[in-house]
Structure 1
Amino acid sequence: MFIFPIEDNLSLKLLEKKDIPELFALVDQSRKYLREWLPWVDSMEKEEDYEPVIELWRKQFCDENGFQAGILYQDKLVGMIGYHYIDYASKKTSIGYWLSEHNQGKGIMTKATQTLVDYAFNVLHLNRIEIQCGTGNRKSAAIPERLGFVKEGTIRDAEYLYDHFHDCYLYSLLKREYEIM
């Protein structure tokens, strides 16, 4: 089991098959809330649906092409965060995240995202990090704004959510901007 500590009660964990019941329960209890912004929620109807996904996440990590990690707060899974991919040629990545509704407002996602930003610039030596979120998702947009990302603009019809397209904001942070913060 790989766990990356952030602070006393907060860490990131690469999920394993044994984590599936906890992950499924977390998504299931937050299904209505998560569904508003995440296009994959309806396709995860039972625990077994996570088995191939966790294998893909582990392969992504082994291939050094990003990762998806569980966020543990007080030793309980409360959400996920990761690099969607890593483009080593262009030295960039994008960060995606979600947090259960009842764990918001505690600084968890800001600290987890800051950790990934630090790692991307200082360990992976990347130059650019992107975060994309729905234009109406104020809680998600607050994370890059709080961390000094620049809002580059709006991507029209950026993502299909069940029965409609929605626009997304594109935020970015460059290494040179990060170094002067």
Structure 2
Amino acid sequence: MFTLPIGDGALLRPLEPWRAPEFLAHIDRARDAVDPWIPWATFSTDLPSATATLQRYADRLATDNGGIFGIWLDDTLVGGVMFTRFDSTSGVCEIGCWLEKAGEGRGLVNRACRTLIDWAFTERGMSRVEWWVAAHNARSIGAARRLGMTRDGVLRRHSPYRGVRHDIEVWSVLAEEWPTVREGSASGVQAELDRLMGVFVGAFTNAGGRRPDLDVIRDVFIPQGRIIANVGGEPVIYDLDAFIEPRQRMLTDGTLTEFSEEEVSARTEIFGSIAHRFSEYRKSGYHDGAWFEGSGRKTTQYLLTPAGWRMSSLAWDDVPAAVTG
């Protein structure tokens, strides 16, 4: 069967029933992280039940109604992605993912999911790819956001699990929203750069009950990225860790509430494997209980890397915010 490289020495391939012993060993390592979110992890506890899980997906694949695919890193199964539903008649499918700790922090799930979504749209002509997630599963919600998906709504108390009914968020991306050609088409590159900026800006939002997720910034930047505040007399230069940690704290400890930021205009220049964006933004929220509104400018540099387009640096300057009691 096929094997696809997805970067960093990782491979994506079908997770077939004959791989059940390897699958079971992997699930035993991942169970604490996976079990709360994926029911089959609860039931794959020995070789017969693990084989049955993979067989169910093999049967779905045979009837064009689903499929499961593993992610191998350095010849070890560390996670996977799946079509939990695939309905070619309606043009709608649903994808999901899981990962053990050894595979975290490399963007493997994002790249594997993109492979499935690209195939669904370009090869099968699907109209809509969905992502269903428990409303309190922040990591999975972050994964949907990094894929450029839109939150459609919440199915309240939809899914029972271990005696508790859980709210389910539904996220989706449509065929016309998906940048299918990233390297060969100017419009495809532009769409991908737009998406990266959207993920960056959206990471800070905690308005309307949304959960800020600044860890997604690591996925849109190269690991060596720099973020620069030039709002005072001297620039302050952050690496990713130094930028993310204090802002995540402010957005979750009550210091900064009902906060949102949006890009209101942008000019992007692309040349081969590099790009530059100059944009205007506005923001608002409550800081220590006082409402503020502000605006400013950003300049952002992008690089085309083996894993796709990424931000390499971003610098901003604020127009002083107007504060009201």
TM-score, normalised to structure 2, is 0.52
Residue in 1 aligned with 2:162?
162
Whichever of the two has the greater Rg, that structure is 2
Contact kept, 8 Å, 2:82 with 2:95, in 1: the verdict is: yes
**Alignment match, 2:148:** 148
Instruction: Kindly provide the amino acid, as one letter, of the partner of residue 125 in structure 1.
Output: G
Change (3 A) 1:159 1:101: farther
1:111 paired residue number: 111
User: What is the aligned partner in structure 2 of residue 11 from structure 1?
Assistant: 11
Q: Whole-Å Cα distance in 1 between the matches of residues 140 and 59 of structure 2?
A: 27
SS in 2 for 1:65: coil
Specify the alignment match of 1:138 in structure 2.
138
Q: Per the alignment, do residues 47 and 135 of structure 1 end up closer, same or farther by CA in structure 2, a change over 3 Å counting?
A: same
User: Which residue pairs with 1:30 in the alignment?
Assistant: 30
Judge which range, 115-124 or 73-82, deviates more: 73-82
Equivalent position amino acid for 2:6 in 1: I
1:137 positional shift: 1.2
Q: Deviations for 1:123-144, whole angstroms, at most 9, x for unmatched residues?
A: 1111100001111111111111
Q: In 2, are the aligned partners of 1:67 and 1:83 still within 8 Å (CA)?
A: yes
Shift of 1:17: 3.6
**Identity of matched residues, %:** 29
Matched, 1:128 2:95: no
The C-alpha deviation readout for 1:81-101, integer Å capped at 9, x for no partner, is 111122112111000111113
**What amino acid sits opposite 1:120 in the alignment?**
A
Cα offset, 1:8, TM superposition: 5.7
Is 115-124 or 36-45 further displaced after alignment? 36-45
Higher strand share: 2
Structure with the larger RCO, 1 or 2 (CA within 8 Å, 6+ apart): 1
SS of the aligned residue for 1:141 comes to helix
- Of 7-16 and 124-133, more deviation after overlay is shown by 7-16
Runs of 4+ in 1 over 6 A off after TM superposition: none
Partner of 1:83: 83
Q: Is the 8 A contact 2:18 2:51 kept in 1?
A: no
Counterpart-to-counterpart distance in 2, 1:108 and 1:116: 13
Which structure has more helix as a fraction of its residues? 1
TM-score by length of 1: 0.91
Residue 134 of structure 1 aligns with an amino acid whose one-letter code is: A
Gaps of 5+ in 1: none
1:55 alignment partner in structure 2: 55
